[in-house]
Amino acid sequence: MKLKNLSDKKIIVSAGGTIEMLDPVRFMTNRSSGKMGVSIADAAYKAGLNTLLIAGNVDKNLLSGKKYEIIKVLSTRDMLDAVKNQLCDNALLIMAAAPADYSFKEISSVKIKKKSDELNITLVKNPDILMESSKIKQNMNFNNLILAGFAAETNDLEKYAIGKLKEKNLDLICANDVSTSESGFESDYNKITIYFKNGLKKELNMALKKDIAKFILKNIDTYLGEIDEK
């Protein structure tokens, strides 16, 4: 797979869910396996691109034997810090991870004991990594930085995906329906629709995630070629 418009870019891919600790033994996370993000990183590396994977809660077997750089993180804030440290003007950030939207307001340093029938816990909103990346792009004048998001939805896929694309000022967003067991979280398969900020829409029905990864990279490469010509 030749990707001439991506050949000089630093490819930063995030994968997996993040973990928010409640106490030393309990935590909150989600069903993201990291398979999609790892597949994208694999495809980018095989295409000869400078590839970096920022991995959250991803099975170690999925990461074993990789020849590209991997940064392991735990929480959403950890992932944000890792992304911020790697962003540069000539990068492509593909946020395939599913960072936790909320974290615990208070983290106990010792295991919380079972004392009553109810346990009241307060959650606080985590920073949005793509939103923060978009701010960095603007503030640092990273005009060549390409931001690609993912929208995993259970309903109104197009509405929510396009809303996130505009709200976060992204170049593109990859939307996938996770309401069925056949695709999305934990599955080796996915079906995806890519929405670009120039109005272009590309769709691929059910396919292996490794083929979805190639589809995403090829379409980003084509998109970059088109905007360079304008």
Rounded mean pLDDT for each run of 10 residues along the chain, 230 residues in total: 94 98 96 95 98 97 97 98 98 97 97 91 98 97 97 82 95 85 73 93 92 97 82
Structure confidence at residue 75 (pLDDT): 98
| Active site amino acids | 30
Structure confidence at residue 185 (pLDDT): 67
Instruction: Convert the pLDDT of each residue in 164-205 to its tens digit.
Output: 999 999 999 999 877 666 655 678 888 899 999 999 999 998
Structure confidence at residue 190 (pLDDT): 87
Structure confidence at residue 189 (pLDDT): 87
171-186 as b/e, with b when 16 or more CB fall inside 10 Å?
Answer: bbbbbbbbeeeebbbe
Structure confidence at residue 187 (pLDDT): 83
Structure confidence at residue 227 (pLDDT): 78
Structure confidence at residue 181 (pLDDT): 62
CA–CA distance, 63 with 51 (Å, rounded to integer): 14
